[in-house]
A = this chain, B = another copy of it.
Amino acid sequence: MQFFVNSHLHYQISSPATILCSLSCVRTPGQLVFDESLTTSRQGFRTDLSVGPEENRFTKLEISEPGELTVQYQATASTQVSLQPISDVKIEDSPTLHASVIPYLFPSRYAPADRMRAAANDLFGHINGQLNQALAVEDWLYSHLNYQVGASNEQTWALDTLEHRAGVCRDFAHLGIAFCRALTIPARYVTAYAFQLQPQDFHAVFEVFVNGTWYLIDGTRIAPLNGMIRIAMGRDASDAAVATLFGGVEGMGISVETMLSADENDVFTPITREDLRSWGKVLAMG
């Protein structure tokens, strides 16, 4: 499918500040990005950077004069997903440790898997096979957590979410990642533009690596699984925050639009988790 994304970040600068944005969509074999622009409402020193193993695309803005600042990103992205019968995924109990996935087994700031082994084994240890465990995690998140704006903040980690049973997409993803890593399933955090997400916003999901493929997991069920456009990937939100602020700057709001590309003649048929289950399939983003 081909999507058009358009996002704005608004800031108030009070003294010299640096803003590190992650708005630009990563490029992957399955995700083409074109007609892209990142513009700012004011002059400043700008650097574009590719960061980390996934080549997340950060833009660093250094602004010295006080005032308002808006950062706008626009792009057209063509994505593809693939569906695979669950029964075709080999049952495996321990991960295939490609070098690239090893860091996704390690505990991270918001997904302290080392502190969740007892809970993960208690809840999911009896399930046979890593893919089935990950799907059980997805179901658990949906049925045990309340999607609740304001229940968490930017310091919330998976242990808090397990305690409070409430959070937003970021929190669902962190708890799911922590459970999966505690079960020795490599898991990574993904920020995305998400078509038909209501209200329009950035989204966060995660992926698990089983038998050589990263499969998409989203315990929130708030957006179609085939309408995601990847922005960034990482261990958790610390790697892929939409913006990290230094110095005299305060966030004043965001807006996000994700729509079908104007050129697109395809009809978008949303794929939900219920669809996948009824088909006995899992989905991998390209």
Complex CA–CA separation, A165 to B120 (angstroms)? 11
Interface string of A32-55 (1 = CB under 8 A from B): 000000000000000101111100
From the candidates B47, B50, B107, name the one contacting A109 in the complex (CB within 8 A): B107
Complex CA–CA separation, A87 to B16 (angstroms)? 25
Residue of B nearest to A16 (CB): B94
A109-B107, A118-B163 as given contacts; A50 in contact with B97, CB under 8 Å = no
Q: Is the interface of A mostly helix, strand, loop or mixed?
A: mixed
Is there an interface contact between B49 and A163, defined as CB atoms closer than 8 Å?
A: no
Copies in the complex: 4
A58-B102, A109-B106, A247-B94 as given contacts; A114 in contact with B51, CB under 8 Å = no
Residues of B within 8 A of A177 (CB): none
**Number of A residues whose C-beta is below 8 Å from B?**
41
From the candidates B50, B94, B244, name the one contacting A99 in the complex (CB within 8 A): B50
- Shortest CB-to-CB span from A60 to chain B, Å, is 6
Complex CA–CA separation, A159 to B246 (angstroms)? 22
Residues of B within 8 A of A53 (CB): 52-53
Is there an interface contact between B155 and A122, defined as CB atoms closer than 8 Å?
A: no
Is there an interface contact between B51 and A122, defined as CB atoms closer than 8 Å?
A: no
A103-B51, A109-B108 as given contacts; A97 in contact with B238, CB under 8 Å = no
Complex CA–CA separation, A99 to B53 (angstroms)? 11
From the candidates B107, B155, B165, B246, name the one contacting A114 in the complex (CB within 8 A): B155
Q: Does A176 contact B (CB under 8 A)?
A: no
> Which residues of chain A from 50 to 107 have a CB within 8 Å of any chain B CB?
50-53, 58, 60, 94, 97, 99, 102-103, 105-107
- Shortest CB-to-CB span from A231 to chain B, Å, is 16
Residue of B nearest to A98 (CB): B49
Q: Does A115 contact B (CB under 8 A)?
A: yes
From the candidates B20, B114, B163, B239, name the one contacting A97 in the complex (CB within 8 A): B20
Q: Does A277 contact B (CB under 8 A)?
A: no
Is there an interface contact between A51 and B238, defined as CB atoms closer than 8 Å?
A: no
- Shortest CB-to-CB span from A237 to chain B, Å, is 9
Residues of B within 8 A of A16 (CB): 94
- Shortest CB-to-CB span from A124 to chain B, Å, is 14
The list of the 7 closest CB pairs from A to B, nearest first, reads A118-B165, A49-B99, A106-B238, A107-B109, A51-B102, A51-B99, A107-B238
